[in-house]
Amino acid sequence: MSETLPTITIEIGNLDKNKNVYPLRLIGQDKGDILAEESIAKKEFERDKWDVDPIEKMLTTPNSPEFEKIGEKLYELIHKGKVGMIWDKFIIDNNDCRVQLRIIPDEVFSFPWEFVCCSKRDDKTAIDRLATQPNQTFYRTYENRNPNLPEESGLLPLRVLIVIGSGQEDKKVLAEDELKLIATKIRHNDRKDPENRLTHRLIDIEKLWNPTLTELSEKYKEFKPHIFHFIGHGTIVNGKAQLIIETPNTKNDGGPPFEQKIWGDAEIKSDFKVLDWRPNLVIINACRTEAKDANRSEDFKKHIWSIGDIFRDLDIPAIIAMQADIEGKSACIFSGELYRHIAKFTPLDVAVANARIALRQQTDFTYREWAIPVLTVSMPPRSEEHTS
């Protein structure tokens, strides 16, 4: 059952080349009316004019006090004039609400907006990280061009397909640990929480280890998952982000035990368009799957496209991807907490905020891990509740 909360959208539009500014709009919930409009000068997004390059800092530095400064500056860019005034009033008037960030230009989308932070209203010495607020959530949104694709609801079970593209012994990914923690967190909810209704529903998790592309396609077609979750590595091929699936080497040629297969945009789109089926949620736990300008090397300079874009092109309602290399341990914590809240019927934006908090509790806000996952949705977040 979906809960409708008061929602506003902060939108950054395409560059006005005549004025050299990006339009900044605050859009209301009911009729999509523009409630306020300001502008952001193009030079404000010229990274060489920042004290530190915000994208490169996110990608190359695991921890830094500069992350807070980046977040404060990003907040200043979108909290301008009348937009900021109406936004402030909206937050004061609504203890439970949503603020959506819609960024149309790729070059602006690439900034680490999950760092956005500001001083607390009641304590100017303290800082609010907007992406970690479960009651007043802050996340990215995009326009769904085909909202009428078939979508199964109201039926048991909730089907989760987890595809593991990395080897079982991969110490960077820790896929086995991630799977165990997901299972533990779901069972923990069922056993410990007297308010939990998990006993009255089923979560059907299928795990697919190191499949061939044919096996993956066939399983997707047969299983039709509500949640599709990939664990593994990403890479760049011809300037585009791709996923890697390590498949067993069956040639008996004395070579390595696994061969790397590329699961790229054409294959993904072909597989996901089968039977016009789309998952409600895609989770891509692979390095830099949401990074459109990943570092200073020539290959990454050409990288203006991401795995996240593939799934947005497919009009997936919700996508979680990574904008930097996330540690295996951190990915485990994030996924475990995310599924714990999914099992409690928590709306997705709230579940992600709580998963960020769980990551932050392992270190502190000077580490980037809590901000690496990027949630993008094309419709109001909801719980994955399926009633019989």
CB contact at 8 A, 345 and 197 = yes
What is residue 208's DSSP assignment? Answer: E
Residue position matching structure tokens 């299928």: 206
For residue 44, give every residue at least 6 positions away whose Cβ sits within 8 Å of its Cβ, in sequence order, or none.
77
Q: Are 75 and 116 in contact (CB under 8 A)?
A: yes
Q: Give me the half-sphere count of Cα atoms (radius 13 Å) on the Cβ side of residue 218.
A: 6
Question: What mean pLDDT do residues 134-143 have?
Answer: 95
- Strand, helix or coil at 19? coil
Q: Mean of the pLDDT values across residues 224-240?
A: 86
As a whole number of angstroms, the distance between CA 215 and CA 161 comes to 13
| pLDDT value of residue 233 | 86
The CB-side HSE value for 90 (13 A sphere, CA atoms) comes to: 25
The string of DSSP codes covering 247-312 is EE--S-SS--SEEEEEE-HHHHHHHHTGGG---SEEEEESTTTT-SS--SSHHHHT----HHHHHH
Question: How many other CB atoms sit within 10 Å of the CB of residue 144?
Answer: 15
Structure tokens at 87: 């936004």
Token digits of residue 32: 């999509």
Report the phi/psi class of residue 74: left, alpha or beta, with left for phi > 0 and alpha for psi in -120 to 50.
Answer: alpha
**Shortest CA distance to 130 belongs to which of 365, 295, 313?**
365
User: What three-state secondary structure class fits 60?
Assistant: helix
Could you tell me if 208 and 219 are in contact, meaning their C-beta atoms sit under 8 angstroms apart? yes
Q: Lowest-pLDDT range, 79-93, 175-189, 359-373?
A: 175-189
Q: In the beta sheet, which residues pair with residue 231?
A: 164, 285
pLDDT band at 114; cut points 50, 70, 90 = very high
pLDDT tens digits for range 21-70: 999 999 998 778 999 999 999 999 999 999 999 998 998 899 999 999 99
Residue that wins the pLDDT comparison between 22 and 300: 22
Whole-model pTM: value is 0.89
Can you spell out the DSSP letters for 21-49?
EEEEEEE-SSS--EEEEEEEEGGGG-GGG
Lowest mean pLDDT segment, chosen from 4-13, 75-84, 159-168, 364-373: 159-168
